[in-house]
Each structure stands twice: as C-alpha cells, then as structure tokens.
Amino acid sequence: MGTRQIVPICKDGWGNYSISEWDLKAASWQDFHPHSEYNMVLEGELFVAAGGDVKVLQPGDVARVPAGRMGRYWAPEYARMVGVYGPNPEGDASAGFEYWALDNDAEIHPADPTAEDPLEHLPGFTGVEIWRASPNMPERPEWDRNRGRFITHSPQSGPWNDPVLSTWELESAAWTDRHPHTEFNFVVAGELIVEVAGERVVLHAGDSVEIAPGQLARYSAPEFAHMVGVYGPNPHGLVSTDFHYESI
C-alpha cells in the first residue's frame, strides 16, 4: 500500500477536508474513521465493504463510507485512488487500522468482510454509498469544451457540510469563477494552467491546486486537462459568481 498526503490531516482537527492519493497492490486495508471518507478510483479495480455492503469500483467510480463506520478496501490486483476525508473539527482519532497482503482467494473474497464493524448493531446503520462513472458533459451547449459533472450532489442544491466531489475537463478552453468556499483540483491527465491574484502555475498529472474562498481563479488548458475537483463545505449556501468561458 502506497500513499501520499496532499492536503494533510491536522491532529487538532480540520474544518474543510483532507486529501490523499493512495494505491493497493494485491493487498487490503481496514480503518475506522469519525469522519466521512470518499474514494475515487483512478486506475484498476477496488472492493469496498462497510455495514454489510460490498461494492466493486472501476475507474471513475466513487464510494463513500459514512462517519463512524469500519471500512475495508482491497484490490486483488491493483487500484489507485484519490481519497477525501470530510470535516473533523474536533480532531477525533481514527482507529482499527489493519493491513494484509492477499495471498489466496479466501482473502480476496472473504465471506464476512465487515464482521468487526462496531456499529453494525445500531438502528439505521448505513453501508457504502456509491456513484458510478458517467460521461462529463457541458453545462451549456456554448460551453462545449468545458465538460464536467458533480458526483456527490450539486452545490446548487443548497448548503452543504461535507465536501462536494466533481470531475471535469477542459479542451482548448479556459474557465473563470469565484467561489465562497475552498476549491481543490487534482490533475488526472494533461496540462492545466491556473491564474490567481497575479500568480500563474502550470500543473501536470498528479499535481494539485487549492484556491482559497473568495479568490477569482482562471483555469485554462491549451490542449487538454482532466481534473478531480473538491468543493469545501459551504454551510450557509453562499453562491458562486463571475463565471466566464473562453475557447482557446
């Protein structure tokens, strides 16, 4: 299991999100978090189990294990993910960490992968929530080279306290916006240019950028760029502004 922290956790707690990139190679990982955990699969095949549910994820799929659940993840061959932790303002500790290599079919397909979930007996418990991959589409026909989709839910649906995940792409186009919340983008493929407050950075696959609330940001891709986007909490449902699209 390999991992790297992109937006690291803080032992005193965090109000937005923590983000990492990680992978499993014929291995399994189990943990128990006091916060929600989202994982988008970038490559390979990932099994996820929580609360009696077992789901199989392919590239572009996203799974959420709710706060207070034991989650188990395993990849019989290989899987690479972007992981997003929801807010944990009190800095409550995670637990139940367990790693093991998968050496036989019984370990790859266990009969009861959630037997040790400490909350399974509680009323109203939930398992894995999943969103399947679907094509990115322009929000308007005239924005044909800015294609995207909100995964967990649309921010236009009102205030939210957990992160909102999206995936989007630019093809010989530029996009400008201003958000009242933090915005994070992880570049999956291509080259993305980001301009904020007089600064200009060029990002390639594996690079990330985080834009602070209230900043006007311009994203451009002279050829092509594909991103995973994360919107930070917006508990008051404040609106975004200054949308502008350009073909390049």
Structure confidence at residue 127 (pLDDT)? 82
**Residue 122 backbone phi and psi in degrees, to 5:** -75, 145
Mean per-residue pLDDT for 120-148? 84
Q: Between the CA of residue 231 and those of 66, 175, 183, what are the distances in Å? A: 18, 16, 5
Q: Find out if CATH 1.10.10.60 is the number for domain 2-131.
A: no
Distance between CA atoms of residues 117 and 189, nearest Å:
37
What token pair was written down for 208? 């990330």
Domain coordinates in residue numbering, the chain: 2-131, 137-247
- 114, pLDDT greater than 80: no
C-alpha distances (whole Å) from 203 to each of 26, 57, 245 are 31, 27, 20
pLDDT at 156: 84
Residue 240 has pLDDT above 70, yes or no: yes
What pLDDT score does 110 carry? 54
- Output the 3-class SS for the chain: CEEEEEECCCCCCECCCEEEEEEEEEEEEEEEECCCEEEEEEEECEEEEECCEEEEECCCCEEEECCCEEEEEEEEEEEEEEEEECCECCCCCCEEEEEEECCCHHHHCCCCCCCCCCCCCCCCCCCCEEECCCCCEECCHHHCCEEEEECCCCHHHCCECCCEEEEEEEEEEEEEEECCCCEEEEEEEEEEEEEECCEEEEEECCCEEEECCCCEEEEEEEEEEEEEEEECCECCCCCCEEEEEEEC
Rounded distance, CA 200 to CA 219, Å? 10
> How do residues 40-69 score in pLDDT, each as one tens digit?
999 999 999 988 888 999 999 999 999 998
Per residue in 72-105, pLDDT tens? 999 999 999 999 999 999 999 999 999 999 986 6
Comparing 2-131 with 137-247, is the CATH topology the same? yes
122-to-23, 50, 67 alpha-carbon distances in Å: 31, 14, 14
CA gap 84, 32 in Å, rounded: 14
Q: Tokens 């909490």 — which residue?
A: 233
Domain 137-247 is classified in which CATH homologous superfamily? Jelly Rolls (2.60.120.10)
